[in-house]
Amino acid sequence: MRNSGEFPAQTNMTKCEHTTCVIFFLLCLLPLGLSQLSANQRVTMFKLSELLKDTTSSVWIVAQEPNPCGWKGVSCTSNNASITHLSLSDFSLTDSGFLPLVCEIGSLEALDLSNNRLSSIPDGFITACGKIGGLKLLSFSRNRLVGALPTFNGFIGLQFLDFSYNSLSGNIGLQLDGLNELRTLNLSSNQFSGHVPTHLGKSRVLEHLLLSKNFFHGGIPKVIFDYHKLVLIDLSNNQLSGSLPARIGDLSKLKILILSSNNLSGEIPTNLSNIRTLSRFAANENNFNGNIPNGISRFLKILDLSYNKLSGLIPSDLMMQPKLQRVDLSYNLLGGSIPANMSSSLVRLRLGSNSLSGVIPSAKLGTLLKLTYLELENNSLSGSIPPELGSCQSLALLNLAMNNLAGRLPLELGSLNRLQVLKLQSNKLTGEIPDQITQIQSLLVLNISENLLSGGIPSSIWRLKSLTNLNLGGNRLLGSIPPSISSFNSLLELQLGRNQLSGHIPRMPNSLQIALNLSHNLFEGPIPNTLSRLSSLEVWDLSNNKFSGEIPIFLTGFRSMTQLLLSNNQLSGVIPKFGHWVAVDTSGNPGLVNTTSHPISTRKSQYKMKSVGSSVAVAVAVGTASLALGITMAILIAVSRSRRHGRVKSN
């Protein structure tokens, strides 16, 4: 009971229930045959279990396991003589009053307090635990700590310090300088400000430095490069400016360098390519400019320079380095053509939104058997789509949209049986849609809109059973929609606008949710009743056709509908009343009467209003009956939302 005054929770202990107290003292005094844990440590642990009994009572069942070495989160030496590791991770701790008590366990090597709700660290903790020479690991990650980083006096053996995911703030000056053994420092996801700390232990043995997601500003300090043992540096998501000093090349053990989401500028230093160990370099979302130096990817597996202002050509050796797996240079100002030499290790290649021109080089495509993501969209690439792409058997995402690609859609794409997303929109592709495209059974998204494709929609289109988004809009497609289209059962979006389609409109898949777009075609006759089944559909575009007859009353009963475009058709009769949540455009239909704006013969219009009103009621009743399906619907809508963002993740 030494130091009892130091612990605020002591009062709780004296108030403990009688029976608990009896057990407590019995256990402390009992000569426990099982355990050789020193009496001091046993007493400390029982005191701790009392202090924390509100949160640990379900995991530290003292009556069942008298030896603290058997408690959850406690590890002892192999002979149970002393406690070495204490993990109170995820114990729902809120009051840090118990912390100094923990430091009485002088044999502690690791103390893990992560995933709790602690908001402060008592001074007594730093003083007491600082004396434990063998303490190597201390983690307070994922708590609610506020205020300044404490100054670590003592802690001569501390190697691993994790304060990530808290709300600590202020500058970091000399607080950590005494930590001579520090190897890992993780301060990410806090609110630290000021300059990147440079006093990180006088003996400079730091290996992992993680400072991401703070408010550090100013330049990358050169002193950092005196920490020769650094293996990982993560400075991402701060407000750093200035350039990346060429002395980075001095860090001969560096494996991972992450500088993403800052305001760094200047050129990428050539000296990076001196680091033989460097496998990942990410400098995306900065203001780096100038040319990409030769040799930069010499030893890299992962290179991300996207969202910068890099210009000039892509170095001819950049993509051919044998270890290279992922390259992202998208959203820069790169010009010239795509280098032909590519490494067969490539898994992901993103060069979108640059100013690249010339043809898609086909020489090495046949060797890219691991290539899973190829994104070259929004450039000025010309020539045709190389048939050799059909050999890239791992492709899941192929995006060549928004270029000047011409010629036909190669049949060879039909053999890409892992392809999920095919985006070729906004090019100058001609010819018919080959039947072979409908062999890609894994396809979820097919977007070949805004091209010059002609002929009909292949009747074998039904074979693309998994399709969620089909966009054939803005082409020169003729003929009618194949009736087999009704057999899609995952299709959420069907875009057929701006073609020359005509004839009968077949039954549409009930799964449609995002949009049905038949606009700017040659459809005529009444709006078919089969559309009344599309109760989940949000956007309806039937505009700019020759639809005639009345606006079907079923259209007013859809609660998912947000937009209905009927403009420029030959519809007639009275416009029924739609819910206020629907944006309706009926302009350009000379035969339509808007009763709201023309309240003419009262009797007739009252009668009409009534009939309209009752059909709305019927439609709503039908809707209510299907409320049982509400949960399913909610899931489907959630799915539709996530699918809209594409299933193939961009990392």
Ligand X SMILES: *[C@@H]1O[C@H](CO)[C@@H](O)[C@H](O)[C@H]1NC(C)=O
Chain contacts with ligand X (rule: CB under 6 A): 34, 67, 69-70, 79-80, 141, 162, 164-165, 184, 186, 208, 210, 239, 241, 246-247, 249-250, 263, 265, 271, 274, 287, 316, 320, 340-341, 353, 378, 423, 425-426, 445, 447, 449-450, 469, 471, 473-474, 495, 497-498, 517, 519-520, 539, 541, 565, 575, 584, 586, 594, 596-597
Residue least distant from ligand X (Cβ) = 497
3-state secondary structure of 52: coil
User: Is the Cβ–Cβ distance between 124 and 4 less than 8 Å?
Assistant: no
Of the pair 96, 586, the CB lying nearest ligand X is at 586
Alpha-carbon span 223 to 230, nearest angstrom:
12
Q: Whose structure tokens read 């709700």?
A: 117
Of the pair 264, 619, the CB lying nearest ligand X is at 264
Which structure tokens are listed for 335? 């010009």
Smallest distance, ligand X to C-beta of residue 522, A: 14
Smallest distance, ligand X to C-beta of residue 452, A: 13
Measured CA to CA in angstroms, residue 371 lies from 301, 458, 470 at distances of 14, 29, 24
Smallest distance, ligand X to C-beta of residue 392, A: 18
Smallest distance, ligand X to C-beta of residue 245, A: 7
Smallest distance, ligand X to C-beta of residue 400, A: 12
Of the pair 7, 24, the CB lying nearest ligand X is at 24
Of the pair 300, 445, the CB lying nearest ligand X is at 445
User: Is the Cβ–Cβ distance between 147 and 171 less than 8 Å?
Assistant: no
| Partner residues linked to 591 by β-bridges | 572
Of the pair 128, 514, the CB lying nearest ligand X is at 514
3-state secondary structure of 313: strand
Smallest distance, ligand X to C-beta of residue 546, A: 17
Measured CA to CA in angstroms, residue 651 lies from 272, 327, 328 at distances of 23, 11, 10
Smallest distance, ligand X to C-beta of residue 385, A: 16
Q: In the sheet that 333-335 helps form, which strands lie side by side, from edge to edge?
A: 217-218, 239-242, 263-266, 287-290, 309-313, 333-335
Smallest distance, ligand X to C-beta of residue 338, A: 11
Rg of the Cα atoms in the chain: 34
Alpha-carbon span 175 to 152, nearest angstrom:
6
Of the pair 125, 165, the CB lying nearest ligand X is at 165
Contacts of 64 (CB under 8 A, 6+ apart): none
Of the pair 97, 473, the CB lying nearest ligand X is at 473
Q: In the sheet that 591-593 helps form, which strands lie side by side, from edge to edge?
A: 524-526, 546-549, 570-574, 591-593
Smallest distance, ligand X to C-beta of residue 67, A: 3
Of the pair 128, 300, the CB lying nearest ligand X is at 300
Of the pair 76, 128, the CB lying nearest ligand X is at 76
Q: What is the three-state SS of 238-291?
A: CEEEECCCHHHHHCCCCCEEECCCCEEEECCCHHHHHCCCCCEEECCCCEEEEC
Phi, psi of 546, rounded to the nearest 5 degrees: -125, 40
Smallest distance, ligand X to C-beta of residue 139, A: 7
| DSSP element (H, E) containing 642 | helix 630-644
Smallest distance, ligand X to C-beta of residue 11, A: 31
Smallest distance, ligand X to C-beta of residue 376, A: 12
Alpha-carbon span 36 to 69, nearest angstrom:
10
Of the pair 10, 379, the CB lying nearest ligand X is at 379
Render the burial of 395-419: b for 16+ CB within 10 Å, e for the rest. Answer: bbbbbbbbbebeeebbebbbebeeb
Of the pair 128, 368, the CB lying nearest ligand X is at 368
Of the pair 171, 316, the CB lying nearest ligand X is at 316
Question: Hey, how many other C-beta atoms are within 10 angstroms of the C-beta on 629?
Answer: 11
User: Is the Cβ–Cβ distance between 230 and 255 less than 8 Å?
Assistant: no
| DSSP element (H, E) containing 26 | helix 18-29
User: Is the Cβ–Cβ distance between 411 and 436 less than 8 Å?
Assistant: yes
Smallest distance, ligand X to C-beta of residue 133, A: 23
User: Is the Cβ–Cβ distance between 480 and 504 less than 8 Å?
Assistant: yes
Of the pair 132, 491, the CB lying nearest ligand X is at 491
